[in-house]
Structure 1
Amino acid sequence: QLSRAVETRPTREHRPQLSDLRECVPGETLVVLGDGRRMPIRELVGTAPEVLAVSPDGKIVTAKSEKIWLVGVRPVFLLCLASGRVIRATERHRFLAARGWETVSELSVGDRVAIARRLPEPAFPDSWPDLRVTLLGQLIGDGSYLKHQPLRFTTSSEENSRIVAEAVREEFGGDVKRYAGRGSWHQLLISGNGNRSHPEKLNGWLRELGIFGQRSYEKRVPEAVFRLSNRQIALLLRHLWATDGTIAPRGNGRGSHSVFYSTNSPRLASDVAALLLRLGITARISSVKKGNYRPNFLVGVSGANDQRRFLEAVGAAGPRAPQAERLRALLVGGRPNTNVGRSAHFKFVPSRALLAEYAEILRDEELYARATSDLFWDRIVAIEPDSEEEVFDLTVPGPASWLADGIVSHNSGALEQDADLIIFLYRPERYKEQSEIPPDQQNLAEVIVGKQRNGPTDTVRLTFIPQYASFENRVESDRQPY
C-alpha cells in the first residue's frame, strides 16, 4: 500500500506510521446522521452514532459507525464541485468517483464524484406545531434576532407580516407592534420575551435552537429542523422562499426559468441545499461578489424535473404564490434537460430514464444500478492545497462509507482497521543527504511491523545493498569484539 503521507509531514521525521494510512477530514466536516442532523465530526469524537451510508448498489442506507477519533495535524486539500459544494480532506482520503473509490491525490479536475441525490426522512421524525415551523422560516429569512436588540421582522409583504404576527401571538403570546417604513416596507417589533438574564417565549426558543445572536452572514438552519418530517421541512422552505427566494418564469420564451434562494450566509446556503435533498431536489450553490461587500450565495433549482418537483413538494407562499402558479403552467409538458443550470462546468449528462433504457437493451446490471441509484455525479472543478489542521477519522463497518454533507466519502481508517498485517519499509537515505546520515545508519533499512493481529509488533534493521537492490542481515557497528 503506497502512501506519500510521509513526504508531506511538516517535520523532518519521515519514518512511516499507521496514521499515514488513515483517510482524514477536518473537524468542521458535516457527518449526515441517521436522524437527519448534520453534525461536525469533531463533535462526534468518542461516540458511535448511526450515519447515512451508500450500499454497493448506490442506495442511501443507515449504518452504525464504529469509532470516531482525532488523528492529528495533517495537510488538507480543498475540492470544489460544479454544484457549488466543497469538501476538504487529506490526500489519502477517498471519494466515490465514476471509476470507483479514488483518493484526493488520484482525482483530477473534470472527474466526477458521487453526491446524494436525495436524503431519506428519519424513521421517527420530530414534530412541531406548523405555526412554529412557518415562523422560523420567515425569521431566518427576514428576521433579526441579535443580542442586546429587540426581535424584529422587516418586510414589504402583507402576507408575510400577517403570518409572523399570528404565529408570535398564538405560539408564544408575544406582543407585536408595527412601524411604517419607506413605501410598502414596514417592521414588526416583537416584545414580551423576557430579558437577558431570563429569556422567555420567542427569545428563549431561539436560544434553545442555538441560533440567537446570529448576524445575517452567520445565519443557519437549526440542527433540530433536520429531525422534522419531510412535510414540515417543505413548510419551512416554503416560508423561507417567501422572504428572500425567487420564482421567476422566463418571459416570451427567452432564457431559463429561475428558482433560487439568496443569502449572504454560506452556511445557510449549504443548509437550504441539504433540506432540498430531503425532498429529492438537487440544488446548485453559486456566489456573486460586488465590490467590498460580502459575497451573496444563490441556491438554485434548475431543470424542468427539479423545478416541477420543487413546486409539488415545496410550493409557494405569500408573494411567491402567483409566480409559482405561472411557472407551473409553463412547465406542463416541458422537456427535461439534465444539463440546465449546471453551467459550463458540466458537459452533457444523459437522463436517468435514458440510462435505464440502455441498461435494459444491453442487459447491463451495472448500468441499471447507475440509472436507479440514489446518487448524482458531480464534476470536480478545482483541487488545491488548503491548510494544515487537526483531522479526524470515522469508521463504518458494512457499507464502508458515509456522507460528508451529502458527498459520498469512504470508510476512513478502513485499511488500518481491516488489515491483519501491516508492514512498512523505511530507508533514511530516501529522505536525507548522505552527509546527514550517521555512519552507523549508512545503507540502513528498517522493516517496521506496524500491526499484526495475531502476533507482536517490532522493527527489524537490515542492510540495503543498492547495487543489487537486495537486503541482508545487518551487523551493527557498535558490537564489541570478543
Structure 2
Amino acid sequence: ECLVEPPLRTADDGSRYYLMPPQSYALGITVETFKMPRNVTGIAMGKCLTRDARIIDAATGDVISIADFAADGEVVAYKDGRLGKQGALGVVSQGEKQVFVVKTRLGHTLKATSNHPFLTVTGWRELQELSVGSRIAAARNIPVFGRDELPDWEAAMLGLMIAEGQCDTPGSSPCFTTADEALADEALRQCGGVGIGSVLTYNGRYGYRLANRVGRGGIATKNRATQWLKGHRLNVGSLKKFVPPCVFRAPKRSVALFLRALFSGDGSIYSLNSNRAHLQVGLEYCSSSERLARDVQHLLLRFGIVSKLREKWTLKSPTFIVQVLRSADIKTFLDEIGFLPGSAKDLKARNVIRPVLETRQHNQRRLYDTIPAEFWTTLKAEAQALHTTLYASGLHVRNRKDVTYLELQKFIALYPESKLAQHLESDIIWDEVVSVESGGVEEVFDICVPQAQNFVANNLIVHNSTYARVGLLVNTTPLEAGWTGRLVVELANLAALPLRVYVNEGIGQIVFFESDEDCAVSYEDRGGKYQGQTGLTYSRL
C-alpha cells in the first residue's frame, strides 16, 4: 500500500522532479544501461556504519550505538565551524556489507563501508580515497551535556569505584583501594548518610570494604553497595569497566565531579625536565578497559579538551592511556575539573604544574594541531577574492607544509571580514589517518540528518550515511554477472514531509567487484526474469 507513483512536476527554474509523499516507497530506473561481464558483479548501496559506531543522542546527552538511535531524534553535527545539536530521522539496517576500519593518530577508530565520506579540508572524500597520512576532521569540542540530575555523592562515588574499586566480588563486599588518605576520606564521606548507606571498613594495607555495618553478627542483608553497583551494571572486572549512561546524561557540573574523582584515582599529572623554563607537563588516565578509556576521551571533549588514546602492551594484557598533551588543555582540565582537594595529585597540580601553566602562552598548538597543506590553495583563493596576495599579507607559501594556526591568525587579523575566520575557533581538529584495514562483513546502518548532512560518530565527522539528504533511502540492489538492462531500484522517503527527487540527479552509487575468473553460471545462462529490461519493471513473483 505504500508503493506510489509520484507525480512529475516542474520547478520555477525549469527543473523536473517527482514528489514523493511522506513515509512512502517508489521504484526508480537508472539513466544508464548496464552490460555486466561474466566476471563482474555490482551492488547499488548506501554508505553505512557498523553497529559499534557510537553516536551522541543530543536530546539526552547519552552515547549510544547507531543501531539504537530513535526516529526523529537529535545528533551532534558540524555546521559553520561549530558542533551542535541537529535533528535526525530514523535509522535503517542496510544488511551485511564489507567494511573497513579507519584508525587515526588521536586513537579514534570507525568501521564503515568503502564509499562512506569523511570530512577533509578540501571537502568530503570517500573512505576508499583515504590513505595513511590523510587528514580528516575529528571533534575538538562537543559542548553537549545532559539534563538528568545526578546527586553529587553518586557522581563522586562512581568515579572513585570505577578508578580504584573492586566491583565484582561475589559473596563478599566491594573493595576500595588507595594509599591516598584524601581519597579514602572522600569515599568514607560519600558512602554513608546521603550516599549508599554503607560504611567503609579497613581491610589491611591501603584496602577498604564497603559494608552495611561494622563488625559481624545481626541479620544478614544484601550488601547495599553491591546492589548499587549492579543497578549501574558495574559489577564487572577491571577489563569490562565503562562510564555508565547516567554520567553521559548528567549536567556539566556532575560530569566534572565524576571526572575529578576518576582522575584522582587512576589519573596522573606529571612534569618532565627539572628546568622550569622548559618544563614539559602531561596529564594521563590509564585503564585496562578500552571502552572506559574511550568513554573518558569522549567526556573530555565535552569540556573542549583534546586527548590522544594510545595502547601499551604489558606482559599479559594491553593498557589504554588517555593523554592530554597541550598545555592549554591541561589548564582547562585544572580549571573546570581538577582533582579532589588535598589529594596527592591536587597538591602537585597546585604547587608544581599550575605555576608553570600560568606563565605560558596557550595559543600555541602542537605539531599535530595544524591545518593540512591543501589549505594553502584555499588561502590563495581567499586572498585573491580580497584583492591581495599571501605575500603581501606577510605569509610565505609552503605547499608541502601544513598551515599553522598562527599563520591563519595573522591573515585574519589583516582581513577580519574573511570567511576563513571560522577556522580559527572551529570545533574540529584535523586528525591523521594511521591505518585503513579490512574489517570483514558486518551489518551496517543508515541515518539521515537533513540540515547539516553529517554527524559525529566515534568522535569523527562523517557524512549523512544515506545518499538522500532529506530522508531518501536507496535500497540495496544487486547487479549479477551476465545481467544486461537498466537497473530498477526501490526508493523510500522516511521523512515526515514530501520529498523532491529530481530527474537525472544522482541518488545512488554502484560498487563493482571483479573476479579473477568468469562465473560458472551467469544471470543470462539461467534466463533471469529481469534480463534485458529497458523500462520500469515491477516485481515478477
Q: TM-score band, normalised by the shorter chain?
A: 0.7 to 0.9
Secondary structure in 1 matching 2:461 = strand
* Per-residue CA distance 1:101-158 (angstroms, 9 max, x = gap): 1111011211111111111233x62222212211111111000111514211011111
Secondary structure in 2 matching 1:214 = coil
Letter in 1 for 2:229: L
Find the aligned partners of 2:76 and 2:212 in 1 and give their Cα distance.
41
Q: What TM-score results when the alignment is normalised by the length of structure 1?
A: 0.80
Contact 2:84 2:142 in 1 (8 A): no
Matched, 1:36 2:61: yes
Matched, 1:327 2:360: no
Q: What is the RMSD computed on CA atoms of the aligned residues?
A: 3.5
Letter in 1 for 2:268: T
Deviation at 1:428, TM superposition (A): 12
Matched, 1:175 2:199: yes
Q: Which residue of 2 aligns with 1:433?
A: 518
Find the aligned partners of 2:117 and 2:322 in 1 and give their Cα distance.
27
* Per-residue CA distance 1:317-373 (angstroms, 9 max, x = gap): 212111111100011221444226889x99976664542332343567342121122
Distance 1:167 1:98, change over 3 A: same
Distance 1:362 1:457, change over 3 A: farther
Q: Which residue of 2 aligns with 1:192?
A: 212
Distance 1:77 1:430, change over 3 A: closer
Secondary structure in 2 matching 1:110 = coil
Find the aligned partners of 2:212 and 2:184 in 1 and give their Cα distance.
18
Structural mapping, 1:30-179, within 5 Å:
30-34=54-58, 35-44=60-69, 47-55=71-79, 57-122=80-145, 125-146=147-168, 148=170, 149-170=172-193, 171-179=195-203
Q: Which residue of 2 aligns with 1:410?
A: 463
Deviation at 1:447, TM superposition (A): 6.3
* Per-residue CA distance 1:295-328 (angstroms, 9 max, x = gap): 1111111122111111111112212111111100
Find the aligned partners of 1:429 and 1:33 in 2 and give their Cα distance.
40
Q: Which residue of 1 aligns with 2:288?
A: 264
Contact 2:135 2:432 in 1 (8 A): yes
Deviation at 1:24, TM superposition (A): 0.8
Contact 2:157 2:187 in 1 (8 A): yes
Matched, 1:400 2:453: yes
Distance 1:332 1:268, change over 3 A: same
Contact 1:112 1:379 in 2 (8 A): yes
Contact 2:187 2:200 in 1 (8 A): no
Deviation at 1:230, TM superposition (A): 1.7
Whose helix fraction is larger, Structure 1's or Structure 2's? 1
* Per-residue CA distance 1:27-49 (angstroms, 9 max, x = gap): 111011112211011223x6332
4+ aligned runs moved over 4 Å, structure 1: 197-200, 340-343, 345-354, 418-432, 434-442, 444-449, 456-459
Alignment coverage as a number of residue pairs: 429
Secondary structure in 1 matching 2:446 = strand
Please, which runs of 5 or more residues in structure 1 have no aligned partner? 450-455, 460-482
Please, which runs of 5 or more residues in structure 2 have no aligned partner? 1-29, 214-219, 374-399, 474-499
Greater relative CO (CA pairs within 8 A, separation 6+): 2
Find the aligned partners of 2:81 and 2:111 in 1 and give their Cα distance.
23
* Per-residue CA distance 1:12-64 (angstroms, 9 max, x = gap): 993533xx1x11111111011112211011223x6332111111x12112112
Letter in 2 for 1:133: A
Find the aligned partners of 2:508 and 2:345 in 1 and give their Cα distance.
63
Find the aligned partners of 1:393 and 1:425 in 2 and give their Cα distance.
16
The correspondence for 1:216, drawn from 235, 238, 242, is: 238
Deviation at 1:399, TM superposition (A): 0.7
Find the aligned partners of 1:446 and 1:103 in 2 and give their Cα distance.
32
Find the aligned partners of 2:125 and 2:263 in 1 and give their Cα distance.
38
Contact 2:369 2:430 in 1 (8 A): no
Contact 1:360 1:368 in 2 (8 A): no
The correspondence for 2:418, drawn from 365, 370, 379, is: 365
Q: Which residue of 2 aligns with 1:285?
A: 309
Q: What TM-score results when the alignment is normalised by the length of structure 2?
A: 0.72
Contact 2:173 2:211 in 1 (8 A): yes
Deviation at 1:284, TM superposition (A): 0.7
Q: Which residue of 1 aligns with 2:228?
A: 205
Find the aligned partners of 2:293 and 2:514 in 1 and give their Cα distance.
50
Secondary structure in 1 matching 2:451 = coil
Secondary structure in 2 matching 1:312 = helix
Deviation at 1:283, TM superposition (A): 0.7
Secondary structure in 2 matching 1:108 = coil
Secondary structure in 1 matching 2:424 = helix
Find the aligned partners of 1:239 and 1:233 in 2 and give their Cα distance.
10
Distance 1:445 1:160, change over 3 A: same
The correspondence for 2:326, drawn from 303, 308, 320, is: 303
Deviation at 1:271, TM superposition (A): 0.7
Q: Which residue of 1 aligns with 2:19?
A: none
Q: Which residue of 1 aligns with 2:388?
A: none
Tell me whether 274-283 or 107-116 shows the greater mean CA deviation: 107-116
Contact 2:272 2:281 in 1 (8 A): yes
Find the aligned partners of 1:277 and 1:424 in 2 and give their Cα distance.
34
Find the aligned partners of 1:358 and 1:391 in 2 and give their Cα distance.
43
